[in-house]
């Protein structure tokens, strides 16, 4: 939308808000509540089937219908920017894979507890495999606070489940849906397997600080766009300039704690691999403090490497490159 048109619409919205506000608010709440009832009913149906059936079904539906959703235009644009050498057919195949992965994430949502079946006595014989169990143990027993970043790869929800399963004193930052009734349902489901959940915003910022002060761990997704007016810092991502959310490095700098990365990889037959990096050797300034911008560049370069290995498993549906 052109800036001039956007400004006119915003001006019209502000002028008419006193007129439609009192009427629209209860209608909006009713619509949100109705949607939440549908979501709750869908959750109950999903719980009646096994995780494999739910993942396969939702994955198949999303793979076939997703490419026709308007957000797919954003994905195609992002992919052409990131992979100018790929053909239209290759781009389209990745888009279908992106939707399939997202559908599987939705289908697996109510089965997170069942998906996590890692057993130290039977390592890598179930749905979950990891060769970093010892690293998780050292992180748990270090007695030091730590920050852990991840990205919207495969079923990224499992990163938080993994932290709870390894008994890490961890708090997970998440962004709640705008629909508060749906948000309650999602929070109920997540809280059973993910430990402490912190809502994004001022309240979550204070809670993250409290967690780190007591020697706990804070995990967050860092791969989405955050503009400079919201504290984002410039980085190069897939060879193009953009901005990245620097919250994790601002916290690391304030509390001088190590930073790790964790990723989930989707494997065949509804299995997953969990990988945890060692503490990153991040750039520091002349005073010995973490240097925020080059540190975020290091983190985003790591995430880019993860995505290049499995591009169909990343959420290409948000606008990653913008003019700001």
Pair of tokens at residue 214 = 């007591």
Whole-angstrom distance, CA of residue 128 vs CA of residue 39: 28
What pTM value is reported for the model?
0.83
Whole-angstrom distance, CA of residue 320 vs CA of residue 244: 9
Whole-angstrom distance, CA of residue 315 vs CA of residue 213: 33
Cβ-contact 134, 123 below 8 angstroms: no
> In this structure, is residue 87 part of a structural domain?
no
Reference 220, options 167, 280, 146, 283; nearest CA is 146
Question: What digits encode the pLDDT tens for the residues 139-172?
Answer: 999 989 999 999 999 999 899 888 888 888 888 8
Question: What digits encode the pLDDT tens for the residues 259-292?
Answer: 999 999 999 999 999 999 999 999 999 999 999 9
Instruction: Tell me the longest C-alpha to C-alpha distance in the chain.
Output: 65
Q: Which domain holds residue 284?
A: 119-313
> In this structure, is residue 73 part of a structural domain?
no
The rounded Cα 146 to chain-centroid distance in angstroms is 19
> In this structure, is residue 164 part of a structural domain?
yes
Concatenate the DSSP letters of all residues of 167-213 into one string: T--EEEEEPPPS-HHHHHHHHHHHHHHH-EEEESSHHHHHHHHHHHH
Question: What digits encode the pLDDT tens for the residues 219-242?
Answer: 999 999 999 998 899 999 999 999
> In this structure, is residue 138 part of a structural domain?
yes
> In this structure, is residue 45 part of a structural domain?
no
Split into its structural domains, the chain has a count of 1
For the cut 70, the answer to whether the pLDDT of residue 181 exceeds it is: no
> In this structure, is residue 242 part of a structural domain?
yes
> In this structure, is residue 70 part of a structural domain?
no
> In this structure, is residue 213 part of a structural domain?
yes
| High-pLDDT (> 90) share of the chain, % | 59
Q: Supply the pLDDT for residue 6.
A: 56
């Amino acid at each position: 939308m052109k800036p001039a048109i956007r400004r006119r619409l915003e001006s019209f919205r502000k002028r008419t808000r006193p007129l439609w506000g009192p009427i629209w608010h209860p209608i909006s709440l009713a619509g949100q509540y109705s949607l939440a009832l549908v979501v709750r009913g869908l959750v109950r149906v999903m719980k009646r089937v096994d995780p494999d059936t739910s993942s396969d079904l939702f994955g198949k539906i999303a793979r076939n219908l997703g490419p026709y959703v308007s957000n797919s235009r954003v994905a195609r644009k992002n992919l052409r920017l990131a992979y100018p050498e790929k053909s239209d057919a290759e781009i389209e195949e990745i888009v279908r894979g992106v939707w399939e992965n997202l559908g599987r994430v939705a289908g697996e949502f109510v089965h997170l507890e069942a998906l996590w079946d890692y057993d130290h006595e039977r390592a890598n014989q179930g749905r979950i495999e990891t060769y970093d169990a010892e690293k998780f143990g050292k992180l748990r027993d270090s007695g030091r606070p730590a920050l852990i970043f991840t990205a919207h790869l495969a079923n990224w929800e499992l990163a938080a489940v993994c932290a709870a399963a390894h008994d890490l004193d961890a708090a997970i930052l998440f962004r709640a849906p705008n629909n508060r009734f749906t948000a309650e349902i999602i929070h109920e489901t997540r809280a059973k397997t993910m430990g402490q959940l912190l809502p994004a915003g001022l309240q979550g910022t204070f809670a993250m600080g409290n967690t780190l002060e007591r020697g706990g761990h804070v995990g967050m997704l860092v791969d989405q766009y955050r503009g400079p007016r919201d504290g984002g810092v410039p980085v190069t991502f897939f060879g193009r300039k953009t901005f990245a959310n620097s919250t994790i490095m601002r916290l690391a700098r304030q509390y001088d704690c190590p930073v790790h990365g964790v990723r989930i990889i989707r494997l065949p037959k509804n299995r997953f691999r969990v990988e945890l990096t060692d503490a990153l050797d991040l750039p520091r300034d002349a005073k010995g403090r973490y240097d925020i911008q080059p540190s975020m560049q290091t983190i985003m370069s790591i995430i880019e490497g993860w995505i290049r290995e499995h591009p169909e498993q990343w959420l290409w549906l948000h606008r990653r490159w913008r003019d700001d």
